[in-house]
Amino acid sequence: SWDRPPFSSHHPALEILARCSDRWEEMMLYLPGQAFENGPLAAARGNIPQLIRLSVGVSNVVERMDSSRLDIFSIAPKLISFQAFTTNCDPTSFQIPWRQLTHLPITWAEIGGSIRILQLSPKLREATFLHHNFYDSRPYPVVLHSSLQSLFITQKFPSGELDYSDLFLNVALPNLRSLTINSSPPSLIPATLTTFLSRITVLDHLNLRGCVINDTALLQSLEVTQSLTYLDLRDLMIIGEDNFLVRAKSRTDGIGGSGDFVLVPKLKILAIQISGPGLELFTELVEHRARTLRKVYLQTDQQLGPHLRNRLEKVRSQTLSVTLL
């Protein structure tokens, strides 16, 4: 029976499916861990020449999975996309041709596991990690990854706040063009984000949603991302919001102190959440950047008074649109 352990080493439907594995192009398997180690899928081993996209999930809680026996997908010459839906084992336990992967649509992993996946997959161009907060005592490798262009990181469980410091300190992604950090419930973004961003020279899109960050860390992060054209700060809680807006506004025309330069000078699209007290400062910032911005999306829990509405209406033109969310 496969309803509950102990699981049989045979399963008629899976065995028939495995015998047709030479025709697999896309496969999703959500099974007890034992099914991947031996038995029903054995016939597929070394016989998946057409497989391009693979998704796996482990449906039961397993104390330990034997990596040496998770080799069903180890020879897959066309495999370029892999995703793992499981918190019960490290995705890197699966022996797959990591080095040829280009896409990781979504994979559940603790932070150390995601760093190791980047180390194993030098050709990855896009990756999404759904992080959970299980403790991993293994040391984190230091990774320089030159192929990754898009990274989306979020978290799975509301049971604890995740610390991304190790990820930001141990990974360098010089050619990253799009970064999204989305956290629910909110997690504090550490100051090491600035270090992480400073190693990227071509970042175009930055999306920080559902997180918490202090004003200094956010300002410093924007100082090192001069290539940005798209910035999304909706649902972001800024500790010291007014202070951030004052300092950001002072940097719109290259003023605000000796040696200051225009903050994110290439920015074209800005989406941001502002509380009631900061709306006046935000309106001033938009007025200063009206000539260079193209689209502004404002999310607020307050009603705009007629004075602020009129001021935002004035900066609207054929080149700048202002949308209230």
pLDDT digits (tens, 9 = 90+) for 70-111: 889 999 999 999 999 877 778 888 899 999 999 999 888 888
Taking the C-alpha atoms of residue 21 and residue 17, their distance in angstroms, rounded to an integer, is 7
- What pLDDT is recorded for position 15? 86
Tokens of 131: 């992080």
Distance (Å, rounded) from C-alpha 36 to C-alpha 21?
Answer: 14
- Angle formed by the axes of helices 306-315 and 279-288, to 10°? 20
% of the chain surpassing 70 pLDDT: 86
Q: What is the value of pTM for the model shown?
A: 0.90
Burial 45-56 (b: 16+ CB within 10 A, else e): eebbeebebbbb
- Residue with more model confidence, 32 or 306: 306
Residue 32: pLDDT above 90? no
User: pLDDT digit string (tens) for 199-246?
Assistant: 999 999 999 988 899 999 999 999 999 999 999 999 899 999 999 998
CA distance 219 to 287: 19
CA 71 to chain centre: 28
Q: What is the pLDDT of residue 64?
A: 60
Helix (H, G, I), strand (E, B) or coil at 223: helix
Question: What is the per-residue pLDDT for 249?
Answer: 82
pLDDT higher for 158 or 265? 265
Q: pLDDT at position 253, please?
A: 54
Please check the confidence at residue 4 and state whether its pLDDT lies above 70. Answer: no
What digits encode the pLDDT tens for the residues 53-64?
999 988 766 556
pLDDT at 85: 84
pLDDT of residue 257: 42
Report whether pLDDT(68) > 70: no
- Give the pLDDT confidence score for residue 59 in this predicted structure: 75
Select from 301, 325, 290, 302 the least CA-distant residue to 312. 290
For residues 325 and 234, is the Cβ–Cβ distance under 8 A?
yes
Structure confidence at residue 6 as a pLDDT band (50, 70, 90): low
- Which residue reads 């015998």 in tokens? 19
| Confidence band for 134, pLDDT divided at 50, 70 and 90 | low
Contact status, residue 262 vs residue 300, Cβ threshold 8 Å: no
Number of H helices, E strands in the chain: 9, 16
The mean pLDDT value of the chain amounts to 86
Q: What is the per-residue pLDDT for 206? A: 97
